[in-house]
Amino acid sequence: MPRLGLNERNARFWQLALLVVILVAWHIASRNQQFAFFVGEPIQVAGRIWSWFLPFEVPPNALFPDGLKGNADIYLHLGTTLLETVLAFGIGTVLGLACGLWLALAPTASLILDPYIKAANSMPRVILAPIFALWFGLGIWSKVALAVTLVFFIVFFNVYQGVREVSPVVLANARMLGANQRQLLRTVYLPSATSWVFSSLHTSVGLAFVGAVVGEYLGSARGVGYLILQAEGTFDVNTVFAGIVVLTAFALVLDGIVGLIEKRLMKWQPKTGETEKL
């Protein structure tokens, strides 16, 4: 990421200003009850989020004629969704890394399995949800399995490409210095694959989140996707949008955590433009 400068600070300001404009326009448009039936009301969405997260009741007032209950009942559902996301992200990343390394270093196996990998990657993941529900039930593991199928291929193809992109000169020099296959894996292949893995993790964590929510939406007894499905069944559009806002916020938090981990583990990698100065 580039260092913070005047232009980026201006961009942050305009990003916030655009958000404010969208919210104001949404609020004005939602005064039309027919329009509000389809897109909700931002104040009611905010009130629903308040009731989900805070245990404090709000008495009836001009903004909320019925008041706010303050149930603070989303934590179990949100915890379930986050657990499914983290498990799917971890399992999918490890499997993608292992399989990518294996097939990149085993050309014969790669040649044999290539059509099967392409066929599996081209398959729409949503159609696997009923199968996973049949195999694993309606608990968290059917959602984890669905999300793993989304994460796995992103990591797998990046690792595979990263290992294949290792310079033959680097390999020849390492072998000339006496490096065996295990040392090559640890000092050459893994560092090369790691940079490609981290380039895919931001996408992977988002897909893990999507897989978990879609799995909950298709069949579950808890989770934010389950809350959205229940609200949709009663035409409660404000709750649907509240769920979308919560999911978006936590997806951004997870992406930020991945970014911090990437910065910490990839300190050795030169920043953009530094190599051009050498």
Boundaries of every domain in the chain: 1-39, 42-73, 75-271
For residue 259, with 0-12 CB atoms within 10 Å meaning exposed, 13-18 middle and 19 or more buried, which class applies?
middle
Tell me the mean pLDDT in the region 119-135. 87
**Cα 214 to Cα 227: distance, rounded to the nearest angstrom:** 12
Give CA torsion, residues 155, 161, 162, 163, to 10 deg. Answer: 110
pLDDT cut 70: percent of the chain above it: 87
Of 4 and 39, the one with more pLDDT: 39
Residue 253 CA to residue 269 CA, distance in Å, equals 24
Tokens of 30: 């939602």
CATH superfamily of 75-271: MetI-like (1.10.3720.10)
Between CA 81 and CA 228 the distance in angstroms is 12
pLDDT, one tens digit per residue, over 128-179 is 888 998 898 888 899 999 999 999 999 898 888 877 777 677 767 777 777 7
The pLDDT of residue 4 is above 60: no
- pLDDT tens digits along 59-90: 777 667 666 776 777 888 888 999 999 999 99
pLDDT reported for residue 189: 74
pLDDT at res. 97: 86
Q: State the pTM of this model.
A: 0.78
Lowest mean pLDDT among 22-26, 88-92, 179-183, 234-238: 179-183
Over residues 9-57, the pLDDT tens digits come to: 788 888 889 989 998 998 888 888 888 888 888 888 888 888 888 776 7
Q: How far apart are CA 79 and CA 83, in angstroms?
A: 6
Would the pLDDT of 201 be above 70? Answer: yes
Residue 6 has a pLDDT of 55
**String of DSSP letters for 233-272:** HTT-HHHHHHHHHHHHHHHHHHHHHHHHHHHHHTTTSPPT
The predicted structure's pLDDT at residue 176 = 73
pLDDT for residue 92? 92
Q: How would you label 32-64 residue by residue, b for 16+ Cβ within 10 Å and e otherwise? A: eeeebeebbbbebbbbbbbbbeeeeebeeeeeb
pLDDT of residue 84: 92
At residue 276 the predicted structure's pLDDT band, cuts being 50, 70 and 90, is very low
